[in-house]
Chain A
Amino acid sequence: MPKKDLILDLKKKAKELRKDIITMIYNAQSGHPGGSLSEIDMLVALYYYKLRIDPKSPKWEDRDRFVLSKGHASPGIYAVLADRGFFPKSELGRFRQLNGMLQGHPELSTPGVEFAGGSLGQGMSFSVGIALALKLDKKSSKVYVMIGDGESQEGIVWEASMAAAFHKLDNFIAILDKNQVQETGKTKDVMDIGDVAAKWKAFGWNVIEINGHDMNEIIKALDIAASTKNGKPTMIVSNTMKGKGVSFMELNYKFHGKAPNEEEYKKALEDINKIDVKKFK
């Protein structure tokens, strides 16, 4: 069992980074808050607890890889990478600006970024390639990839899922940030992806289902996924809420890809400041 202090620290970190996300998007007056807020608890657990990485050596050969396939949720990973020291935090203020390092969607030129996303589904396939190569070299590194639930409507997600099971990639851990909402509405109304746990099980995967805002559950799921060696890839179905932590963004498709105005920005920060980390999940 992870220490209680650790869980609390991670929760505090997620709260702090939620503010960075909102500020970054507010400054740029452009970006995707909803999916960044839904993924951030998981990203914090990965980058401050689970991943074997070294910010001083981003290309360290034996590192674990984290692929953010849902590249539009870049503010989440930028906030984490900056805070972990992959690049100066001042870069966050130049998010989406001309000549800035932090592009709208991640680019490989940014330290710590393992995949240049922006077109959905492709990171899943890319991650299968990394995992195959690592296995070939008998490396113990793991590949983590995060996809969205709307993203799972892309056919390539399933091409890649079939291949990951076929090639017995037990060094491959996918996380479905199931935040229930996509650009034009609720996922179940736009194109219902159905019983995803059953689908990935049928594809030959281990499946773990959790509340993706409950740090206890996240940590447990990541530990189980990392230690499972049964020749199967693992899917963590992370049940989350788009816009989590900002009342008027929660489950609101209008904040999939829209920046808050000044008034909304203030309100968003107020909401985040009010988060009681002990109770948050």
Chain B
Amino acid sequence: MEQQKTATREGYGKALLELGRKNKNVVVVDADLGDSTKAEYFGKEFPERFFTVGIAEQNMVGVAAGISVTGKIPYASTFAIFSERAFELVRNVVARNKLNVKLCGSHAGITTGEDGKSAQAIEDIAIYRALPNMIVLQPADSVEAEKMVFALADYNGPSYMRVHRTAFPAIHSPDFKFEIGKGEILREGKDAVIFASGTMVHEALKASDILKNKGVNVYVVNISTIKPIDSKLIIELAKKTNCVITAEDHNIIGGLGSAVAEVLCENYPCKMKRIGVQDVYGESGKPDELYKKYGLDAESIAEDVMKAVRKK
């Protein structure tokens, strides 16, 4: 039987609504994409706490920042790509001042699909990760997205949460506990470790099944906090396997692969393979077609892991 699939943005929207019911201090700022980011669930129930700014992402960030200094907890969401339009506000107003603004970028990565390269943010993790004070999160499924929204409400400081358009099956059970900064071992192995984030966790899990049939056992680790990254776990598993693979739907420059490489080259230098978008822009197509073409699907990951294991 086909498992029910849900997108992480759905988890974002559902959790916002639930959080809004529990905490009157929570407000949402929307730049005319609430139907896509799912922030509209909150907006329909709490119109007085749902501030629209129109198609004006810079103002969305500035307004959220202003709201935050009054003690309210603003979530500001738009497409990941359009949040980048407000990058300098995120830098100079939000991150510089450690303001309690929860920025959420939806429709991230080439998994966004048919809309093509203009909509497929593949550099957002890199740019937000480079900001002091900023934390960067990416859930692997809708359940984790929900927990993340709640965890962020209890966290005081600037954050970027990256969610996706495409639906995937749930990896986590509803009682799963999310903790900012903690990596999560989903599969135990010995021959290699795949550190994956977001939608790529699903591909990595499928890849591990393929590899198992070939007699190769890999760790699959969900890195949903990209900053601050779980260095301890990364070093520990690199030592155990001496074969590290990263998998992300993001440019290989500046994202998860870079973050893992930064940890390892200073602590436990070892060979690494970074799977991701190879410093190119995407194109229109169905998400699974794109993953295949750009080498992000389970088969491609399995092949890359096999090559890496053989080189050990």
Partners in one complex: yes
Which residues does A use to contact B, with CB under 8 Å? Answer: 107-108, 114, 116, 118-119, 122, 124-134, 136-137, 155-156, 159-160, 162-163, 166-167
Q: Indicate if the CB atoms of B67 and A132 lie closer than 8 Å.
A: yes
Q: Indicate if the CB atoms of A129 and B88 lie closer than 8 Å.
A: no
Q: Indicate if the CB atoms of B48 and A129 lie closer than 8 Å.
A: no
Where chain B touches its partner, the secondary structure class is: helix
Across-interface contacts of B72 in A (CB, < 8 A) = 133, 136
CA distance A132 to B70 in the complex (A): 10
Q: Indicate if the CB atoms of A119 and B88 lie closer than 8 Å.
A: yes
Across-interface contacts of A134 in B (CB, < 8 A) = 70
Q: Indicate if the CB atoms of B66 and A163 lie closer than 8 Å.
A: no
Also in contact, A156 and B66, with CB within 8 A (given A133-B72, A136-B27):
no
Q: Indicate if the CB atoms of A129 and B62 lie closer than 8 Å.
A: yes
Q: Indicate if the CB atoms of B27 and A126 lie closer than 8 Å.
A: no
State whether the Cβ of B132 lies closer than 8 Å to any Cβ in chain A: no
Q: Indicate if the CB atoms of B59 and A159 lie closer than 8 Å.
A: yes
12 more A-B contacts (CB under 8 A) besides A126-B62, A128-B59, A137-B70?
A: A119-B93, A122-B92, A127-B66, A128-B62, A129-B64, A130-B66, A132-B66, A156-B56, A156-B58, A162-B54, A163-B53, A163-B63
State whether the Cβ of B96 lies closer than 8 Å to any Cβ in chain A: yes
Q: What sequence of 0s and 1s flags, for each residue 70-107 of chain B, a beta carbon within 8 Å of any chain A beta carbon?
A: 10101000000000000011001100110000000000
State whether the Cβ of B51 lies closer than 8 Å to any Cβ in chain A: yes
Q: Indicate if the CB atoms of A129 and B63 lie closer than 8 Å.
A: yes
Which residues does B use to contact A, with CB under 8 Å? Answer: 27, 29, 48-49, 51, 53-54, 56, 58-59, 61-70, 72, 74, 88-89, 92-93, 96-97
CA distance A107 to B56 in the complex (A): 25
CA distance A162 to B31 in the complex (A): 13
Choose among A108, A125, A128, A130 the residue that contacts B70 (Cβ–Cβ < 8 A). A130
Q: Indicate if the CB atoms of A119 and B58 lie closer than 8 Å.
A: no
Across-interface contacts of B58 in A (CB, < 8 A) = 125, 155-156, 159
Also in contact, A116 and B62, with CB within 8 A (given A122-B92, A125-B89):
no
CA distance A69 to B33 in the complex (A): 28
Across-interface contacts of A116 in B (CB, < 8 A) = 92-93, 96-97
Nearest-CB distance from A55 to chain B (Å)? 19
Chain B's closest residue to A125 (CB) is B62
Nearest-CB distance from B127 to chain A (Å)? 16
CA distance A160 to B57 in the complex (A): 11
Also in contact, A128 and B96, with CB within 8 A (given A156-B59, A163-B54):
no
| 28 pairs, CB–CB < 8 Å, chain A vs chain B | A108-B69, A119-B92, A119-B93, A122-B62, A122-B93, A126-B62, A128-B59, A128-B66, A129-B29, A129-B62, A129-B64, A129-B66, A129-B67, A129-B68, A130-B67, A130-B70, A133-B27, A133-B66, A133-B67, A133-B72, A136-B49, A136-B72, A155-B58, A156-B56, A156-B59, A156-B62, A159-B53, A163-B63
Q: Indicate if the CB atoms of B93 and A126 lie closer than 8 Å.
A: yes
Across-interface contacts of A159 in B (CB, < 8 A) = 53-54, 56, 58-59
